[in-house]
Amino acid sequence: MKIPRVILSALWLAVLPAAGVAQQDSTLREAVRLATEGQGDSARAIVRRRLAATSPTDSGFPETLYAAGVVAADPDTALRYFRRASVEYSESAWADRALLRMAQITFASGDLNTASQSARRVLDDYPFSMVRPQAAFWTGRAQLDLGDLASACRFLTQAADSAAEDVELANRARFYVQRCQGVSLVQKPDTVPPAPPPDSVAGAAPNPGAPPAAAVVVAYAVQVSAVRSPASADQAMQSLKRAGYQPRVSRDADGFLRVKVGRFKTKAEATKLAAEIKRKMGGTPFVVEEQ
């Protein structure tokens, strides 16, 4: 269903101030401030002058493209700028932010598949991005509206667990996670159950000399990233090694490569390491349980 332009514009204005990461350039920061205060024409004039005066090869050009998308008069124009920033300057510090903006705009327009794809690119390609929790949230929201509850619950839980001090985001994610009771968060591959041991057939008496079943030991680790690309996983591993950590990577049944550090008996120890990694390297590391 195509959303009427007047409604889409209203949704665009609602998304505009909520999605942003502050511009580093003071002139562009002023333009964004003007746009959020309703002075869009003045904001766009500032950014147009900056675009005209900046070479596409300049290191500041991706930030200018991002600002142009933020202050754009309509969602279609914004998407063009954000798409350029994310595709032509995919290695810049603004590509992941641009992808997040694209996810929010396309979600507001009802294009759920594009919204999910844009947000997932942040998760797959930018293991140390500061906007990973928001990307997980919007992936989950898109998957929820697409009817994939299991996938939605995995991403929304990831958003709630990694939101850290972003209390508003954590609360929004937990609101939707309430729908996830009884939903498995891990896609388990089809397996053939092993044959029961001889003394476990129906009616057989238990063997009193058999050793007790081993207790499940729960340990805690710090998950630094969950990506699909081996190259992205390797990038995260190398960055952690340079910082003095000993990371490991595992591929779960859902296809994600999860990069983790440490293995502790207590959650408090893992929480301390997560805080240390965040302080040193940024990103959104969080504590997970392991067996």
Mean pLDDT, the chain, whole residue set: 81
Q: Which of 31, 54, 27 is nearest to 41 (CA)?
A: 31
Q: Quick: pLDDT tens for 8-23.
A: 444 444 444 444 456 6
Output the pLDDT for position 213: 52
The domain limits of the chain are 1-109, 111-180, 217-290
Output the pLDDT for position 215: 55
Q: Give the right CATH number for 1-109 from 1.25.40, 1.10.4100, 1.10.3470, 1.10.132.
A: 1.25.40
Q: Quick: pLDDT tens for 175-221.
A: 999 988 877 655 443 333 444 444 444 444 445 555 555 555 678 99
Q: Which residue carries 């009884």 as its tokens?
A: 182
Output the pLDDT for position 216: 56
Query: What's the pTM?
Result: 0.66
CATH topology of domain 217-290: Alpha-Beta Plaits (3.30.70)
**What's the average model confidence in pLDDT over 241-262?**
84
Output the pLDDT for position 238: 85
Percentage of the chain beyond pLDDT 70 is 80
Cα–Cα distance, 196 to 203 (Å, whole number): 13
Q: Which of 39, 36, 41 is nearest to 17 (CA)?
A: 36
- The answer to whether 117 and 105 are in contact (CB under 8 A) is no
Cα–Cα distance, 140 to 120 (Å, whole number): 10
Residue 251 main-chain phi, psi, to 5 deg: -105, 120
Residue 48 pLDDT > 90:
yes
Cα–Cα distance, 285 to 263 (Å, whole number): 14
Q: Which two tokens stand for residue 262?
A: 């440490």
Cα–Cα distance, 6 to 18 (Å, whole number): 20
Q: Quick: pLDDT tens for 98-150.
A: 999 999 999 999 999 999 999 999 998 888 888 999 999 999 999 999 999 99
Cα–Cα distance, 133 to 174 (Å, whole number): 13
Higher pLDDT, 234 or 74: 74
Q: Which two tokens stand for residue 191?
A: 């397996």
pLDDT band at 225 (very low <50, low <70, confident <90, very high): confident
